[in-house]
Structure 1
Amino acid sequence: MSVPKYPGLLEEGEEESHETTETMDPQLYRATTEGDILEFVRAIEHGTIGRHHNPPASCVQLAPQNTTVLHIATSFAHYEIVKLICADLPFFVAEKNAKGDTPLHIAARAGDSLLVTLLVNTDFKEGGLGEKNDEGNTALHEALICGHEEVARILINKNPKMAYSLNNKGRSLLYLAAEAGFGTIVRMLMDNPVGNYTASRKHKNKSPVFAAILGCNIDILKLLWEKDTSLFQQRSGEGKNPLHAAVCMGYTEGVKFLLNKHYEFAYMKDKQGFYPIHSASSKGLVNIIDLMLQHRPDTRELLTAHGQNMLHVAARSGKCKAVEYMLKMPELEKLINEKDEDGNTPLHLATTYGHPKMVSILVRDERAILNLVNNHRQMPLDIAEEHMEMGLASFQKRLTCMALKVVGAPRAHQASTSRSISVKLGDQPETESWRDKINVILVVATVIATMTFTAGLTVPGGYINTNPDQGIATMLKKVKFQEFVICDTIAMYSSIMVVVTLIWAQLGDPSSMHVALKLALPLLGVALAMMSIAFLAGVYLVVSKLSWLAKVVMLIGTSFSIALVVLFVPLCFLASSNYHVYHRLSYYPFCLVLYTLGT
């Protein structure tokens, strides 16, 4: 299908269409919209439609959207005009507009019971009860979709034995009534042939049971069970049974009802290979996990299609509260180090998917074994560092690597050796990646050195111009000035050391780049922190006479300095150390990062 270069203009070779849009007599249209019945009758009598000629539908005057006078009068709720048309020109009831709506569709959608009654009592094709619009909806469908129970009751009572099919979205009347929570309508539908419902293969997920669960309506759910238990055997397109659906909705009352009525649901997989207990774990629904374990305690042994237990699933999804709940249960202890089909423990999965808080929770549990290897001979730290070295290290995965390092998590010997060999061989794309990182840090360090050098020679307050102290800083004895000088000096020399270290890395072999970066990043962090504190001290010093401004400057500077530390710690975290004291000291800044970022 070609798209015109200039929409609205004809392309070369196209034929111009001379079709004229439908139009209605202005006098008739105005009278209908304003509800002026006398003017309406006068317009009808003088127009193309005579009341006594009863013309066919082809003679009906139509507005641009193919709307008749009955469509217009119904949409404006002009009862007298609607009543007059239904009595004298009943064929209007079956006319459809551009969207396939009859006047009855419009009245049902508006929930106007009086208009609906007028229209359905018209002796013309049963008031168009079975007529569908372009969406496949009858007037009864529209009433249920829009939540008009009284209108729905009127339409059903008009012809209780009428058969209604699914609309274009595969929704039956029973589905819509259950979704709306209309218990009386559900009962009416199920007590008559109109309520007999079997979902087609294409629309499996349109079961009324799923609709009741979606609406969290326990009364409808109970009524459906009472009337037809076979409805509960239908599954969604994803293979989920009603218990899966209730779990995914977090519908505790529905979960309890289904477990009591048909506990077998708890032992059925969906197409993803999840049992309901796994669906609850993947969403972190602690109350539902607890409820299911109380009713069916052996569900904790169920495994997904990939051999993962409920703790695997929660760890993979990053649901910390669910994992903390499970770790407190002694009966779930064996799940902590259990492996899936790929040999991954929950800790492996939490590391793979980059959930630092989850990793922190698991490694703090004394029962977690940190040196278990998966089928690829990798421990959790190997996975984390592999992501770092492959350039896949998002901020989350950087924190994940930190979470393992602060507790001294070990590496697999084989994997560590292979990484070392890889670095020494110096794969060209990886080497270029390291050089790019070094160049970025080199530029930052050079800028810091330049700025701190300049600040050191243009100190706050200037210098004394008279003897015998000529050239001495005027604020030399101020504590904040001394703080400024010390921090500025540290920042300058730290940045210079970073520059020198990275120059060596650029000139040396590829294996030295990684080591240089480990040394340079912490020094750069020190330089940034000291430069920030020096700036804070200098500004505070020059505004100290105005107390409130000095306090504001101090508050802002302190807040941003803390934020700087929090953001920079994950970037400059060094490799794992063998010293326990180092692990303990490293743990606290890491916790601060997690708490600050809410990770």
Structure 2
Amino acid sequence: MFVPKKPSLLGKEEEEEEEEESYGTAESMDPQLYRAATEGDIIEFIKAMERVVEDRHHSPPATCVQLGPQNNTVLHIATSFHNYEIVKLICKDLPFFAAEKNARGDTPLHIAARDGDSLLVSLLVDSDFREHCLGEKNKVGNTALHEALHHHQEEVARILINRNRNLSYTVNKEGKSLLYLAAEAGYVGIVKLLMENPIGNYTCVKRKLKNKSPVHAAILGKNIDVLRILWETDQSSFQLKGDQGRNPLHFAADIGYVEGVNFLIQNFCASAYQRDKHGFFPIHIASSKGHTDIVQEILSHCPDSRDLLSLQGHNVLHITAKSGNTKAFSKMLKIPELEKLVNEKDEDGNTPLHVATIHLHPKIVSTLTRDAKVILKLQNNEGLTAFDIAECYMEKEASFVKRLTWMALKIAGATRSKGPKIRNSVHEQPKMENCRDKVNFLLVVAMLVATLTFAAGFTIPGGYNNNSNPDQSNATMLKKVKFQIYVISNTAAMYSSIIVAVTLLWAELGDSSSMRVALKFAIPLLGIALLMMSMTFMAGVYLIVSTLSWLAHVIQFMSFIFFFTLVLLYVPLCFLGSPNYHIFHRFSYYPFRLMLYAFGNCTSDDAEA
């Protein structure tokens, strides 16, 4: 039945005030009582408690439970500040305080167990309300024993177990049991107590431990003694699978726990041949994480595990190549059992070299291309070689990591596939816009070089002669060798850049094929212009400081180093694009390794981007 709302007799301001009062008020404790509980002053605490009782005109148990902002009682506070005398007094005269919970659902025993204070725990569990405390759970589902094990308080955990032999084998909201927490912490004695507990009902709740098996906890904690006890007590628990369908060997392989892997394979070898829900065997997990020692351990006990494939048909080398771990991959190539896998193909026909190229790992590509057993010409199911894939990436967008991957293959002499499918897809002519962008970029650089060298031609070091002799308008340093080098290199740089600019201007008027021809001609010539401009700078600075011989020699030495570096970095840009310059390909290996070393840390990030 609908009842109409009565009109309010209050004004708007009064209604707003009434609405504000509904926001709520936090609990507050008597200041003197709170101060006495925190400071441990037992005399002031007793006085404050008596005053609180007298003010409320009630009997003590009914009203002396004062709460702080987080619903903490005086026993919570005294326990937090380790004030033993006050805790002892409350447990004796007001034992019901031990069962009170704060806003987090913690009893004082939870706090004492978490802090690892064995004396406080003993005082609390000896109270008359201990039966209400030992099994109480807080808001995250932890009993006091859960808290003690989770925070690695072994002594407190033993006290709690000894005082409650009939403890229930429960799990918290994370699904972690007491046995899981004890196994994770590596407490061998406590694990034995829990496994032997007749009231624990471990076998009854085992089905609830699918994702939080104590065996998995022992592996994650790398506790081999706990692992042995669990195996001796209940071998069936080793068949439980955890997150993502992984068995204990998956977990051990994932964290690189060699001792655990050895123990599991010796006692439960069948686990090496079980997949997780993603289709990976334990040896694949070890490969993806770069744990080569685990791979060798598995192969030593299960040699045929090298033939295990993922759902995508990947072997261990495919998976390691995909991960991008160069050190691990280099070690894997040296394992004799894996030598024949370097040219194996997955379901898509991709070899490890294809996979490393697809995922843009230039270091692994370089490692593979230097291995004599690797066949560079192998094609996948689409008829693509690894070099075809790299060139396809280059034509789309030539990022730095893509260029490094392409260079690794080019230096090794990798070639394109000659099938018709390749000519129609990968080797299509670049789009007009892409070529035009490259031409415009080089044109800007060429004009900048021409401008700078033109200015340097008239701003010569040392100036001109000002006397009235026939050499009046000549440069003062005309007869010095370094000045002559300055003039010649500056002139060469200027005219080279102008020729590049004119060539590129002609290319702008043609189609994409003419642009590609112009680019092949312009790039080496622009390199000459940059080298000559560098030499011009060196000669000019040398002339200016020539009166100070040591500084002039330092400048000259630095210039030669940077000049050589410039040559080293620029040569690959000029000759890697053509298959006919095999000598330059070999020479380019050294600048390639330099760039790979210098920028190797950022290549993975670039690949992901």
TM-score normalized by structure 2? 0.87
Q: Which amino acid letter does the alignment assign opposite residue 102 of structure 2? A: N
Equivalent position to 1:110, from 86, 90, 115: 115
- Conservation of the 8 A alpha-carbon contact between 1:189 and 1:195: no
Q: Quote the Cα distance in structure 2 between the aligned partners of 1:293 and 1:559.
A: 49
Q: Quote the Cα distance in structure 1 between the aligned partners of 2:556 and 2:449.
A: 22
Question: In the TM superposition, what is the alpha-carbon distance from 1:568 to its structure 2 partner?
Answer: 5.5
Match of 1:171 in 2: 176
Q: Which amino acid letter does the alignment assign opposite residue 575 of structure 1? A: G
Q: Deviations over 1:251-273 (max 9, x none)?
A: 11111111111111111111221
Q: Which amino acid letter does the alignment assign opposite residue 260 of structure 1? A: Q
**Superposition map of 1:329-348 within 5 A:** 329-348=335-354
Equivalent position to 2:396, from 390, 394, 398: 390
Match of 2:42 in 1: 37
**Superposition map of 1:461-540 within 5 A:** 461-466=462-467, 467-478=469-480, 480-540=482-542
Q: Which amino acid letter does the alignment assign opposite residue 457 of structure 2? A: G
Question: In the TM superposition, what is the alpha-carbon distance from 1:214 to its structure 2 partner?
Answer: 1.4
Question: In the TM superposition, what is the alpha-carbon distance from 1:296 to its structure 2 partner?
Answer: 1.5
Equivalent position SS for 2:89: helix
- Conservation of the 8 A alpha-carbon contact between 2:342 and 2:373: yes
Equivalent position SS for 1:206: coil
Match of 1:159 in 2: 164
Match of 2:438 in 1: 437
Q: Quote the Cα distance in structure 1 between the aligned partners of 2:206 and 2:546.
A: 79
Q: May I ask how many residue pairs the two structures share in their alignment?
A: 581
Q: Quote the Cα distance in structure 2 between the aligned partners of 1:431 and 1:360.
A: 32
- Conservation of the 8 A alpha-carbon contact between 1:130 and 1:164: no
Q: Quote the Cα distance in structure 2 between the aligned partners of 1:524 and 1:435.
A: 17
Match of 1:24 in 2: 29
- Conservation of the 8 A alpha-carbon contact between 1:463 and 1:471: yes
Q: Which amino acid letter does the alignment assign opposite residue 471 of structure 2? A: D
- Conservation of the 8 A alpha-carbon contact between 2:52 and 2:64: no
Q: Which stretch has the larger CA shift, 283-292 or 260-269?
A: 283-292
Equivalent position to 2:148, from 143, 167, 170: 143
Q: Does 1:402 align with 2:403?
A: no
Q: Which stretch has the larger CA shift, 562-571 or 240-249?
A: 562-571
Cα–Cα, structure 1 residues 421 and 185, in superposed 2: closer, same or farther, change >3 Å?
A: closer
- Conservation of the 8 A alpha-carbon contact between 1:405 and 1:576: no
Cα–Cα, structure 1 residues 469 and 176, in superposed 2: closer, same or farther, change >3 Å?
A: farther
Question: In the TM superposition, what is the alpha-carbon distance from 1:559 to its structure 2 partner?
Answer: 6.4
Match of 1:257 in 2: 263
Question: In the TM superposition, what is the alpha-carbon distance from 1:92 to its structure 2 partner?
Answer: 1.2
Question: In the TM superposition, what is the alpha-carbon distance from 1:588 to its structure 2 partner?
Answer: 2.6
Match of 1:3 in 2: none
Q: Quote the Cα distance in structure 2 between the aligned partners of 1:515 and 1:13.
A: 82
Cα–Cα, structure 1 residues 227 and 527, in superposed 2: closer, same or farther, change >3 Å?
A: farther
Question: In the TM superposition, what is the alpha-carbon distance from 1:318 to its structure 2 partner?
Answer: 2.3
- Conservation of the 8 A alpha-carbon contact between 1:44 and 1:51: no
Q: Does 1:235 align with 2:237?
A: no
Equivalent position SS for 1:269: coil
Cα–Cα, structure 1 residues 562 and 292, in superposed 2: closer, same or farther, change >3 Å?
A: farther
Q: Which amino acid letter does the alignment assign opposite residue 222 of structure 2? A: C
Q: Deviations over 1:461-513 (max 9, x none)?
A: 33333334334443445555455444444443343333233323322112333
- Unpaired segments of 5 or more residues in structure 2? 1-15, 602-609
- Conservation of the 8 A alpha-carbon contact between 1:199 and 1:207: no
Match of 1:185 in 2: 190
Q: Deviations over 1:255-298 (max 9, x none)?
A: 11111111111111112211122222222222222222222111
Match of 1:597 in 2: 599
Match of 2:11 in 1: none
Question: In the TM superposition, what is the alpha-carbon distance from 1:59 to its structure 2 partner?
Answer: 5.6
Cα–Cα, structure 1 residues 61 and 370, in superposed 2: closer, same or farther, change >3 Å?
A: same
Equivalent position to 1:317, from 320, 323, 327: 323
**Superposition map of 1:5-24 within 5 A:** 15-16=19-20, 17-24=22-29
Q: Which stretch has the larger CA shift, 358-367 or 14-23?
A: 14-23
Q: Quote the Cα distance in structure 2 between the aligned partners of 1:554 and 1:449.
A: 24
Equivalent position SS for 1:168: coil
Q: Quote the Cα distance in structure 1 between the aligned partners of 2:57 and 2:568.
A: 83
Equivalent position to 1:349, from 334, 351, 355: 355
Match of 2:10 in 1: none
Q: Deviations over 1:98-130 (max 9, x none)?
A: 222211111111111111111111111425112
Q: Deviations over 1:186-241 (max 9, x none)?
A: 11111114372677888633222222211222122222212211221111221221
- Conservation of the 8 A alpha-carbon contact between 2:572 and 2:585: no
Cα–Cα, structure 1 residues 90 and 408, in superposed 2: closer, same or farther, change >3 Å?
A: same
Q: Quote the Cα distance in structure 2 between the aligned partners of 1:559 and 1:82.
A: 77
Q: Which stretch has the larger CA shift, 562-571 or 255-264?
A: 562-571
Question: In the TM superposition, what is the alpha-carbon distance from 1:431 to its structure 2 partner?
Answer: 3.0
Question: In the TM superposition, what is the alpha-carbon distance from 1:83 to its structure 2 partner?
Answer: 0.7
Match of 2:13 in 1: none
Equivalent position SS for 1:47: helix
Match of 2:372 in 1: 366
Q: Quote the Cα distance in structure 2 between the aligned partners of 1:14 and 1:500.
A: 83
- Conservation of the 8 A alpha-carbon contact between 2:53 and 2:59: no
Equivalent position to 1:588, from 581, 590, 595: 590
Q: Which amino acid letter does the alignment assign opposite residue 408 of structure 1? A: G
Question: In the TM superposition, what is the alpha-carbon distance from 1:522 to its structure 2 partner?
Answer: 4.2
Q: Which amino acid letter does the alignment assign opposite residue 438 of structure 1? A: V
Cα–Cα, structure 1 residues 420 and 94, in superposed 2: closer, same or farther, change >3 Å?
A: closer
TM-score normalized by structure 1? 0.89
Question: In the TM superposition, what is the alpha-carbon distance from 1:78 to its structure 2 partner?
Answer: 0.7
Q: Does 1:450 align with 2:456?
A: no
Q: Quote the Cα distance in structure 2 between the aligned partners of 1:561 and 1:48.
A: 91
Q: Deviations over 1:73-105 (max 9, x none)?
A: 111111111111111111111111222221111
Q: Which stretch has the larger CA shift, 91-100 or 77-86?
A: 91-100
Question: In the TM superposition, what is the alpha-carbon distance from 1:383 to its structure 2 partner?
Answer: 0.3
Equivalent position to 2:88, from 62, 83, 86: 83
Q: Quote the Cα distance in structure 1 between the aligned partners of 2:553 and 2:93.
A: 85
Q: Quote the Cα distance in structure 2 between the aligned partners of 1:545 and 1:285.
A: 61
Q: Which stretch has the larger CA shift, 328-337 or 213-222?
A: 328-337
- Conservation of the 8 A alpha-carbon contact between 2:42 and 2:85: yes
Equivalent position SS for 1:174: helix
Alignment root-mean-square deviation, CA: 3.0
Q: Quote the Cα distance in structure 2 between the aligned partners of 1:151 and 1:561.
A: 71
Question: In the TM superposition, what is the alpha-carbon distance from 1:72 to its structure 2 partner?
Answer: 0.9
Question: In the TM superposition, what is the alpha-carbon distance from 1:372 to its structure 2 partner?
Answer: 1.3
Q: Which stretch has the larger CA shift, 529-538 or 356-365?
A: 529-538
Match of 2:5 in 1: none
Equivalent position SS for 1:55: helix
Match of 2:69 in 1: 64
Question: In the TM superposition, what is the alpha-carbon distance from 1:571 to its structure 2 partner?
Answer: 5.7
Q: Quote the Cα distance in structure 1 between the aligned partners of 2:18 and 2:454.
A: 73
Match of 1:100 in 2: 105
Q: Does 1:304 align with 2:310?
A: yes
Q: Which amino acid letter does the alignment assign opposite residue 190 of structure 2? A: I
Q: Quote the Cα distance in structure 2 between the aligned partners of 1:231 and 1:472.
A: 96
- Conservation of the 8 A alpha-carbon contact between 1:173 and 1:195: no
Cα–Cα, structure 1 residues 505 and 24, in superposed 2: closer, same or farther, change >3 Å?
A: same
Q: Does 1:224 align with 2:230?
A: yes
